[in-house]
Structure 1
Amino acid sequence: MHLIIAEKHIAAKRIASILCPGKPDNKRVNGIDTYQFDDGDEKVIMGLSGHIVQVDFPRAYNNWQEVDAGELVDADIITTPTHTRIVGALKKLGREASKVTIATDYDREGELIGVEALDIVKEVNPDIEFDRVVYSAITKSSIEEAFANPLKIDFNLADAGHSRQVIDLVWGAALTRYISLAAMRLGKSFLSVGRVQSPTLALIVDREKERDVFVPQPYWEIYATLKKDGELFTTKHSTARFWDKDEAEAAFGKIGKEAVVSLVETGSKKDQPPTPFNTTEFIRAANSIGFSPANAMRVAESLYTNGFISYPRTDNTVYPKSIDLRAQIEMFSKGAFSRYATKLLAKKELTPTRGKKETTDHPPIFPASVASKSKLKEDEWKVYELVVRRFFATFAEPAVWETIKARFDVNGEEFRANGARLIEEGWRWYYHYNAPEDRLLPKLAEGETLPISGKEMLDKETMPPGRYGQGRLIKIMEDLGLGTKATRHEIISKLYSRSYVHGNPLQPTQTAYAVVEALEKYAPTITKHDMTSKLEEDMDRIAEGNVSEDEVLLESRTMLNSVFDELKENQENISEALREGLRKDKIIGECPECGSELMVRRSKRGSRFIGCNGYPDCTFSLPLPKSGNILVTDKQCEEHGLYHIKINTGKRRAWDLGCVYCNYIEWKASSKEEKKAEDKPKTINDIPGVGKVTAEKLNSAGINTVEELIKEDPRELAKNTNLPIGKIIKWQEIIT
């Protein structure tokens, strides 16, 4: 029996449907779906669930209070199963198999996942024959070609993946334990620290510090609105920014009623088509249309496993010669993109753009098969369309802009206006995202005089450096060698989940400040990219076969031991800095009753609330939701002066609670209304003072419900029932 192992169940199912001449039999082995068929050679295809084992420390190291964090650095590493049913199925099928083919994704993680599965099979069948198939798209042609040309397993590549697991485990566990204990933040509130995570967080915090110390400088801009043939257009003084107000006012005062056109220059500018998508550029493009990096990769992974796009984890920006690019475009001759494909296919030669990075593991991301909008979810279609359009754009001509540069003499002061008009759409016809708009100017001639219909002098201030958006941060991480194409989006997701950042662009919390400032001051190695990028390079060398995994792990442990030397030398200072910083993260403002600090606190029973530091003299308090991490933002309530709060529940976005005092007042008012509604009489007999006889009188007048009593005119009802009008009015007040 020939056992074929894919990385996930959906990939196994698709591969089976491609390889099987008919329909494969779906059989469960140890509770796991497998796909079996016989094409002259009995085949069983099963999918894993990514990693089915994990690296860990022996149980003796689990107690944070008893085992010093530094002991983790040189501790033994063991491997434990995480999916026992899959492991059981592998062993059962492995005993019966004569050959194993690893068909997991081809990269470090995929190779390691395949080797992990192979090792489990070899435990029960040591001498089994094995090979490896490599593909970049789960399509019929790619899969058939891969199985027709099997390769050897790349154990060096798997070792590189394994070294990452061990290094990240040891660095993350040891540093997280040390920092959390130093700050006394244990349990679910532990402080996460990591080899890639911490330098990335430091980038965000350092940018925020630049914003904090930024001192805005005032400047002035001067504009004049001109008129030509009934059309208004705006010009700006050639001194883009006046730093002296007197100079600005002097120039502004010279603006009269006319402007003379002193220069008109026309030209053209070519806008070159984009390069093929690698993972980083794909994430940035998807981010610009509303996808977080994590969501973009989740959707891309789904499209890949369903055969619609190529493998989405790639550094490559050059299409390999092995891809029949014309055939890939011809696929779209019918359907939603037919007009785009037809236009490209009319070209004699299809010459795509080339990026700077060229690798041999996977091609750039491109559409592998045709999908229809009706069969994809909305987010899947958006990502698929993005990939298709980018693919087409790489074969298109440059876009061409007509440019106009105009200068105007206004009583000796020079004003400027620049225009641009797209005259040849080129690649932008295929790829319409984030397209700049035309800036049109009327037809102008040198020497002509134009009336000035308005003028304006604006007071402005310089702005602090912008925060990093997720797409931009991904690119910076790539440039600095932080993480890999497969892990960068996960690192950013972790920063959100651990409540180190919120919003997009990313804004650090006081907790992030506390952790980064303590580490930068007393153990700066952890927060710099140099160390982690060096380890990334070493892992690349493992994959290339230039260094052994053991050598790199030894170097990593040596680095980490030196970090712990720094930590232990400054233990008291680190602890004090962390606790003070974390305390700031709990302050939401001043108490409205006594002026003391209001802080996030916990009761003896463990419930959370906002309490006053003036307790017990001041007992002012406000309730908080029971679950979720609390994020104190820098936005303040205009009425109460308290900082707004967000609740991070681990879902896609934090819940914006706003001002807790406003929230409490609103809740109290709604609760009062609800109680009032609950207390209202539901029937005539529930009304105080309405007995059996009175109810009968009301019934005789046609009043059987409280709703009918509300609508009645008290005077008319008093006449018909001989009941006092005052009582009827009182009853109506009670029930309304």
Structure 2
Amino acid sequence: MHLIIAEKHIAAKRIAAILAPQKVKQVRVSGVDTYEYESEEGKKIFIGLSGHIVKLDFPKAYNNWQKVEANELIGAEIITASTQVKIVSALKKLGKEATKVTIATDYDREGELIGAEALDIIKQVNENVVFDRVHYSAITPKAIDDAFSNPTNVDFNLADAGHSRQVIDLVWGASLTRYISLAAGRLGKMFLSVGRVQSPTLALIVEREKEREAFIPKPYWELSAMLKSKSGEEFKVEHRTKRFWEKAEVDAAMEKISIGDDARVSEIKTSEKTDKPPTPFNTTEFIGAASSIGFTAANAMRIAETLYTNGFISYPRTDNTVYPESLDLRAQIEIFKTGTFKQYALKLLEKKELVPTKGKKETTDHPPIFPASLAKKSEMNEQEWKLYEMVVRRFFATFADPAIWETIRSKYDIQGEEFKANGARLVEPGWRWYYHYNAPEDRLLPKMEEGDVHSVIKVDVEAKETQPPGRYGQGRLIKIMEELGLGTKATRHDIISKLYSRAYVHGNPLQPTKTAVAVVDALEKFAPTISKPDMTSKLEADMDRIAEGGIPEDDVLNESREMLEGVFVDLEKNKDDITESLRAGLREDKIIGTCSECGSNLMVMRSKRGGRFIGCEGYPDCTFSLPLPKMGQVIVTDKLCEDHGLYHIRIINAGKRPWNLGCPECNFIEWQKTQEEEKKKQKEASPDKEKPKTLKDISGIGKVTEEKLVDAGVCSVDELCEADALELAKATSIPVKKIKTWQSDVI
């Protein structure tokens, strides 16, 4: 029996369907779906994994944060644990019977490791099994047939490189996270995550935020005029001094000009600008393009993975920006001679020679991202189609001609002051006809010649300020990570997702929370190795050398542990300072604003029962408070409510869209209004309904709850005095303690 192992279930199913000479039979093995058929060589069975089916971890003895010091994890034993029991069981069962095994996982460092993990499990029950490896970049009939016709060997060096990353990230992440979380007193679900790649990436975001905060805006003024041509067309011109830094200067220029003045054309220059077509998509460029049309990095890669496993696009994790010679580009375009993109494909196929653009990066593992097969819009959801269409259009654009723009530079004399205007018109769409995303618009000027006179119909001075550097969008951040050697094409989007999930950042562009600033400040001051890219890029380069067979894995693992031990020397030296720095910073992230009643800080607090609310630091003298949602992490933004002077807050729940709650006091007032309106509606709907008037009358309303008491009109729980609480307890058999709980919740 020949066992073929794919990385995912859907990939196994598709590959089996492509290779089978007849209908594939679905068979469950140990609760896992497999696909089989008979061939001339015998039975072939296909099984899909679920990515990694085993994980690295420390022995259970190391799980106690209070008893095991963080630095003890550096040299701790690392064990392998199964994460997919059913799949492991199925592999062992099928592996016993297999005479040959083919690893058909994704062809990259991670895929090689996943395949090697599955092979190790099979070897436990069939030590001498014969095995080989197939590589493909798209799950299409041609790509799969070619791959299985030309099997190769498992690259254990590449798998070791993937394994070394897992070990290094586990040891660095677990030990540093434990140390920093304990120092800050943030345990449980609110622990402070620290990582080899995550922390330098977060430092980039925090550094940019500090640049923004330190930025001092400088005022300037812009002078412009609206002109009217003889043909009646209106257009805007700007003073040659783009920015006036002195108000007196712009006022002096302004005084010279009046409505009705002549604006004489002093110069006209017309030229042609060539707009070169874009290069093929690699992962970074794809994420950047997807980000520009509204996709997060993680969502773009998740959808790209789905498109790949369904055979619609090529493998989306690639550094390559040059199509390989082995790819039949004309045949690939001919796929689209029918369907949605018919007119674009036919136009390209008119070319005698198809010469694509080339980017700077060329690798041999995978081609750039390209559309692998023709799809119908009905086969996908809206988001999938958006990204599929973008990939198709980008592919076409790489073969298209340059776009040609006609540009016009004009100058005008208005009472001795020089103004100017630039125009641009797309003459030849070229590649922009195929790929229309983020296209600049035409800036049209009236037809004119030197010496023509226009009329001034409006003069305007606009006061402005210089702006701080912008925050990083996800696409831009991933590009910077690539330049600095932080992470890989397969992991960068996950790193950004982790920053969101740990509530270190919010929004897009990314804005750090005060917690993020506190963590980065402490690391940069007392253990700068963790927050700088040098260390992690060095380890990335070493992992590449493992993949190339230039250095043993153990050498890199030992080097990483020595680096980490050096980091802990710095941490221990500054333990008290780190604790003080972290706790002071984390406290700031809880401040919502100033109490309108006493002027103290309003902060996110916890009640004795664990519930959270916004309370006043002036308690017990000041009892002002506001409610908070029970679930989700509270993020304090920098947006301030003009009415109440409180910062807007955002609630983050794992797996859900962030909820912008806004000003907590505005939100509470709105909630109270809604409650009053609801009560009013209920009263109007049943005006004759008898309601109990005394505490003793509620015995007939079934199980008594706080809500029923309020609905019944007996009382508002927060109005109960001690005597009423006792009477209520007597009438309903509800313990006084329970009633007191209701009261404390309300208060």
CA distance in 1, matches of 2:461, 2:687: 70
Q: Is 1:681–1:687's contact at 8 Å kept on the other side of the alignment?
A: no
1:238 to 220, 236, 240: 240
Map 1:288-437 → 2, pairs under 5 A: 288-437=292-441
Name the structure 1 match of 2:460: 456
CA distance in 1, matches of 2:333, 2:126: 46
Q: Give 1:681 deviation, angstroms.
A: 7.2
Q: Give 1:668 deviation, angstroms.
A: 2.1
Q: Deviation digits for residues 183-226 of structure 1, max 9, x if unmatched? A: 00000000001011111111111100011111100001110111
CA distance in 1, matches of 2:252, 2:679: 67
Name the structure 2 match of 1:733: none
Q: Is 1:401–1:423's contact at 8 Å kept on the other side of the alignment?
A: yes
* Change in CA separation of 1:688 and 1:6 when aligned onto 2, cut-off 3 Å: closer
Name the structure 2 match of 1:34: 34
Q: Is 1:3–1:101's contact at 8 Å kept on the other side of the alignment?
A: yes
Q: Deviation digits for residues 593-652 of structure 1, max 9, x if unmatched? A: 111111001111111111111111111111111110100111111111111111000235
Matched, 1:71 2:72: yes
CA distance in 1, matches of 2:369, 2:626: 52
Q: Give 1:410 deviation, angstroms.
A: 1.6
Q: Is 1:510–1:582's contact at 8 Å kept on the other side of the alignment?
A: yes
CA distance in 2, matches of 1:103, 1:687: 72
Q: Deviation digits for residues 54-76 of structure 1, max 9, x if unmatched? A: 01111111100100001111111
Give the aligned residue type for 2:358: R
Give the aligned residue type for 1:400: I
CA distance in 2, matches of 1:406, 1:218: 28
Structure 2 portions without partners, runs of 5+: 694-747
Matched, 1:25 2:29: no
CA distance in 1, matches of 2:687, 2:621: 48
Name the structure 2 match of 1:702: none
Name the structure 2 match of 1:163: 164
Q: Deviation digits for residues 74-128 of structure 1, max 9, x if unmatched? A: 1111111100110000000000001100000000000000000000000010100
Name the structure 2 match of 1:581: 585
Q: Is 1:210–1:465's contact at 8 Å kept on the other side of the alignment?
A: yes
Matched, 1:485 2:489: yes
CA distance in 2, matches of 1:637, 1:418: 41
CA distance in 1, matches of 2:607, 2:683: 32
Out of 589-598 and 323-332, give the one that drifted further.
589-598
Give the aligned residue type for 1:16: A
Say which SS state the counterpart of residue 407 (structure 2) adopts: strand
* Change in CA separation of 1:368 and 1:688 when aligned onto 2, cut-off 3 Å: closer
Name the structure 2 match of 1:469: 473
Name the structure 2 match of 1:185: 186
Name the structure 1 match of 2:145: 144
Name the structure 2 match of 1:114: 115
Q: Give 1:437 deviation, angstroms.
A: 0.2
Name the structure 2 match of 1:569: 573
CA distance in 2, matches of 1:551, 1:685: 81
Name the structure 2 match of 1:254: 256
Give the aligned residue type for 1:370: L
Give the aligned residue type for 2:112: E
Q: Give 1:677 deviation, angstroms.
A: 4.1
Q: Deviation digits for residues 468-487 of structure 1, max 9, x if unmatched? A: 11111111111111111011
Name the structure 2 match of 1:603: 607
* Change in CA separation of 1:145 and 1:573 when aligned onto 2, cut-off 3 Å: same
CA distance in 1, matches of 2:25, 2:225: 77
Say which SS state the counterpart of residue 124 (structure 2) adopts: helix
1:495 to 492, 499, 503: 499
Structure 1 portions without partners, runs of 5+: 690-736
Say which SS state the counterpart of residue 264 (structure 1) adopts: strand
CA distance in 1, matches of 2:514, 2:487: 25
1:591 to 595, 605, 614: 595
Q: Deviation digits for residues 240-270 of structure 1, max 9, x if unmatched? A: 1111111111112122411111110100000
- In the alignment of these two chains, the number of paired residues is 689
| TM-score of the pair, normalised by structure 1 | 0.92
CA distance in 1, matches of 2:104, 2:633: 41
* Change in CA separation of 1:679 and 1:450 when aligned onto 2, cut-off 3 Å: closer
Q: Give 1:672 deviation, angstroms.
A: 3.0
Out of 409-418 and 114-123, give the one that drifted further.
409-418
CA distance in 1, matches of 2:350, 2:684: 77
Name the structure 1 match of 2:745: none
Out of 353-362 and 614-623, give the one that drifted further.
614-623
CA distance in 2, matches of 1:462, 1:263: 30
Q: Deviation digits for residues 39-64 of structure 1, max 9, x if unmatched? A: 12211100000000001111111100
CA distance in 1, matches of 2:681, 2:449: 75
Q: Give 1:383 deviation, angstroms.
A: 0.7
Q: Give 1:375 deviation, angstroms.
A: 1.4
Say which SS state the counterpart of residue 593 (structure 2) adopts: strand
Say which SS state the counterpart of residue 367 (structure 2) adopts: coil
Q: Is 1:8–1:50's contact at 8 Å kept on the other side of the alignment?
A: yes
Name the structure 1 match of 2:728: none
Q: Give 1:679 deviation, angstroms.
A: 4.8
Q: Give 1:675 deviation, angstroms.
A: 3.4
Identity %: 70
Give RMSD over aligned pairs: 1.3
Q: Give 1:673 deviation, angstroms.
A: 3.2
Out of 408-417 and 486-495, give the one that drifted further.
408-417
CA distance in 2, matches of 1:680, 1:334: 63
Q: Is 1:24–1:36's contact at 8 Å kept on the other side of the alignment?
A: yes
Name the structure 2 match of 1:518: 522
Name the structure 1 match of 2:710: none
Matched, 1:275 2:284: no
CA distance in 1, matches of 2:678, 2:383: 40
Q: Deviation digits for residues 699-719 of structure 1, max 9, x if unmatched? A: xxxxxxxxxxxxxxxxxxxxx
| TM-score of the pair, normalised by structure 2 | 0.91
Name the structure 2 match of 1:729: none
Q: Give 1:653 deviation, angstroms.
A: 2.8
Runs of 4+ in 1 over 6 A off after TM superposition: none
* Change in CA separation of 1:688 and 1:211 when aligned onto 2, cut-off 3 Å: closer
Q: Deviation digits for residues 511-568 of structure 1, max 9, x if unmatched? A: 0111011111111111111111111111111111111111111111111111111111
Name the structure 2 match of 1:85: 86
CA distance in 1, matches of 2:219, 2:451: 35
CA distance in 2, matches of 1:200, 1:23: 49
